[in-house]
Chains A and B, each alone.
Chain A
Amino acid sequence: MFEVFSFGSSGWGDEMLMGALMTVLVSASSLLLGILIGIIFAACKLSNIFILKIVANTYTTIIRGIPELLVIYLLFFGGSGAVMYIAKIFGYDGYIELNAFTIGTIAVGAISGAYSTEVIRGAVNSVHKGQFEAGKTLGLNGYGLYGRVIFPQVARIALPGIGNVWQITLKDTALISVTGLVEIMRQSRIAAGSTHEPFIFYTAAIILYLVITRLSNILFDKAENTYSKGFVSKEAL
C-alpha cells in the first residue's frame, strides 16, 4: 500500500514532499506580501485623510465579502493583461506572462493582506497614546519613534493575530492549485489521477497540511514567548 510513496522515479514520496515545500514557500511569500499590504492599508485606515480611509475600507470589505476563488480567477486570467497594460504605459510592447507562483503569491497575498490590515490596525490602536507622546518628548521622530519604540510593541500584540492569518493563508494556497502551481493539492491530484488511488493521496495531503500547521504553531508560540519577554501575563497578576 505504501510503495506508492517510495522515493525516486517509481513512487510519489519525493514529489509529495516537494509539493509540501512549494506550499510552504508560496504561503510564506503570500504572508509577507500580505503583511506589507497590511501595514500600508492599516496606515491608511488610521490616517486622517478621508480618501485613504475610503480606499482601505473598500479593499478590506471587497476581499472579505467575495470568494477567494473569484479573486484568484481574476488574477489568473487578468494578471498578465494588467502587467502588459502597465508595461505599455512605460513603452514596453512585448508579451509578458506571469508564472503561477507569482500570480498565486499576488492573489493569496491580496487576500491575506485584508486580514493583516485588521490585525495590524488593532495592534497599533492598542499601543498606549503615552508611548507616542513619550517618544516625541525624547525628540524621536520617523524611524526612531516608529521603528524603535512603536514597532516592537505592535509586533508583540499583532503576533497571535498574524499567526491566525498564517493559518488562513496556508489553507488558501490550496486554491491556487486551480492555476496549475504544483503544491500539495495539485500534486496529490496528479498522483491520484495516475495511480487511481485518490483516497490514499488525499489522506497523505491531509497529513501534510496538519504537520505544517502543527510545526508553524510551535514556531509562532516560540516567537510569542520571545517577544513577550519582560511582560507579565494577565493571569499572573
Chain B
Amino acid sequence: MRFELMYESFFKIIEGIPLTLQVVSISTVLGLALAIIVALMRISGKKSMSIPAYYFVYLIRGTPLLLQLYFVYYGLGQFSFIRESILWPILKEPYWCGIITLTISTGAYSSEIIRGGILSVSKNFIEASGALGLNKIKTFLLITLPITVRQALPAYGNELILMVKASSLISIITLMEITGIARTIISKTYAPVEIFLVAGSIYLIINFIIVLAVGLAERKLGTVKAN
C-alpha cells in the first residue's frame, strides 16, 4: 500500500465530486419529469399513449447505458441535418450528451417505479374522495400523489444510487468526474488498488448519504396502509 499516493490522489479525486453531483442532480430532476409523463401515458388506458410509452421503457431497459451514451454522442452527430440544426451547440458537448442520456435512462426506470406507486393506491381512496365531491385533478393532487410518493420512495432511493453509479460512464466521453480522474491517476501511477479504494470510498459515502436522506424522508412521511 502506498499511503502517500492515496493521500495525494484523494485531493485530486474530490475535485471530480462537483461534476458528478451536478450531472446526477440535473438529470434526476429532468428524468423525474419525464418519468411522470411516461408513467401517466402507460396507465392512461389509451392505446395510442400506452404503447409508445411501453416500447420506450422496453428499449431503454433492454440496452446498456454505455451504448445509449455512444448513440447520442457519436451516432447523432453523423447526420448533417443534426449538425446544422439549432440543437447542435448542445449535442456536440459531452456534458449535455451525458445529461441527456442519463435523463432518458432514469426517466424510463423511474416511470416503472412511479407506475407501481400509482397503481398501489387503493380504489377505496379514489372512491371515497369522489364521494366527498373532489374532482379528478384534486383527487390526483391531494390523494393519489402523496400516497404514490410515499409508496415509491424506497424504490426511488435505489434509483438515485443507480444514478450516482451510472454517472461514472460519462468519464468514457472525456468528462473528468470522479471515475475519470481516478482512471487518469491509475494509468499514470499504475496503482489500481490504492486509487480504487479512494474513489470507491467517495462513492460509498455519497451513496450512504443518499440512503440516510431517503430513510429520513420515509420516516417523515410516515407509513401508508395500502388497503
Give the interface of A toward B (CB within 8 A).
61-62, 64-71, 73-74, 76-78, 81, 167, 171-175, 177-178, 185, 188-189, 192, 196-199, 202-203, 205-206, 209-210, 213-214
Contacts and interface: CB of A to CB of B under 8 A. Distances in A.
Interface residues of B, number: 41
A73 B74 CA distance: 23
A61 B208 CA distance: 10
Contact of B165 (A68, A189, A203, A214): A68
B172 A178 contact: yes
Given A65-B203, A73-B196, A192-B75, 16 more contacts: A65-B161, A65-B165, A65-B208, A66-B165, A67-B164, A67-B179, A70-B203, A71-B196, A73-B182, A73-B192, A77-B190, A198-B77, A199-B71, A199-B78, A199-B79, A202-B71
Given A70-B182, A205-B67, A209-B64, A199 B203 contact: no
A65 B204 contact: yes
B10 to A, nearest CB: 15
B21 interface: no
Contacts of A77: 186-187, 190, 192
Nearest to A205: B67
B179 A213 contact: no
B66 A197 contact: no
A167 B183 CA distance: 27
B48 to A, nearest CB: 23
Contacts of A171: 63-65
B168 interface: yes
Interface of B: prevailing SS: helix
Interface string B43-59: 00000000000000011
B178 to A, nearest CB: 8
Nearest to B187: A77
A206 B179 contact: no
Given A199-B75, A199-B76, A209-B62, A70 B67 contact: no
Considering residues A61, A167, A202, A203, which has the most beta carbons from chain B within 10 angstroms of its beta carbon? A202
A202 B75 contact: yes
Given A67-B165, A70-B168, A77-B190, A209 B67 contact: yes
From DSSP, what is the main secondary structure of chain A's interface residues? helix
Given A65-B207, A67-B203, A69-B179, A74 B165 contact: no
A185 B182 CA distance: 23
Contacts of A205: 63, 67
Contact of B193 (A64, A78, A198, A206): A78
A210 B59 contact: yes
Contact of B64 (A64, A67, A174, A214): A174
19 contacts: A62-B200, A65-B207, A67-B165, A68-B168, A70-B168, A70-B196, A73-B192, A77-B187, A167-B62, A171-B65, A175-B64, A185-B64, A188-B70, A202-B70, A202-B75, A205-B63, A205-B67, A206-B67, A213-B62
Q: Which of B61, B71, B193 has the most CB of A within 10 A?
A: B71
Contacts of B23: none
A174 B200 CA distance: 21
Interface string B196-212: 10011001100110000
B152 interface: no
Contacts of A185: 64, 66-67, 70
A161 B63 CA distance: 19
A198 B75 contact: yes
A189 B67 CA distance: 10
Contact of B74 (A172, A192, A214): A192
Contacts of A178: 172
B27 interface: no
B74 A202 contact: yes
Nearest to A174: B64
